[in-house]
Amino acid sequence: MYDRDRLIQLVKDHALKFGDFTLASGKQAKFYLDCRKLTLDGESANVIAAGMLDVIGDDLPDAVGGMAIGADPITAAVITVAWQQQKNIKGFIVRKQAKEHGMQQMVEGPVEPGQRVVMVEDVITTGGSSLRAIEHARNFGLKVDRLITIVNRGPESEKIFADVDVKFSALLNLEDLGIES
């Protein structure tokens, strides 16, 4: 079962840091969300996975995945918890750049063109890395129709992803953490 209140507490206790930070988008911020502190912790990963599966509901995709390396532990948690719930969902990884050896693919894992997938992410601010991951997944032939993030810190996220025909969901928003955007 998804425990949203527990996730809020875990984020506040372990992932939320205050100070002066430069985000991946280049923007300056007075707080930083280091969700790797959550996604690489057993309890937190289980709470996150339960939340994402709750958002997915009964309309199961063929697979979940996202941009390496941030989405990798989320993907692993979701497919593991799904399996424990007798739900068959595979995982995949979108590389930041293709390998120069082997099959030189941008998308790795037991997925095939034509399959419907859900992208996962830890934190969304401007959506840049998620948009690149969606593009690579679609170029591979995957049908991306949804993106779920742990925390949405971007005020325009729904519009950004609607513009590329992807439904956007967040387990938490800044307001849930007591932060004004």
| Residue 141 assigned to a binding site | no
Is 124 annotated to bind ligand? yes
Q: What are phi and psi of 105, to 5 degrees?
A: -95, 155
- 127 among annotated binding-site residues: yes
Ligand-binding annotation for 126, yes or no, is yes
Instruction: Confirm whether residue 129 is marked as ligand binding.
Output: yes
Contacts of 88 (CB under 8 A, 6+ apart): 60, 82
Is 132 annotated in some ligand binding site? Answer: no
Is there a binding annotation on residue 125?
yes
Selection from 106, 104, 107, 70 nearest residue 91 by Cα: 107
DSSP class of 34: -
Query: Nearest to residue 77, comparing CAs of 112, 113, 103, 41?
Result: 41
39 among annotated binding-site residues: no
CB 180 within 8 A of CB 174: yes
Is 122 labelled a binding residue?
yes
79 is in an annotated binding site: no
Known binding positions: 95-96, 99, 101, 121-129, 153
Known binding positions for 5-phospho-alpha-D-ribose 1-diphosphate: 95-96, 99, 101, 121-129
Known binding positions for orotate: 125, 153
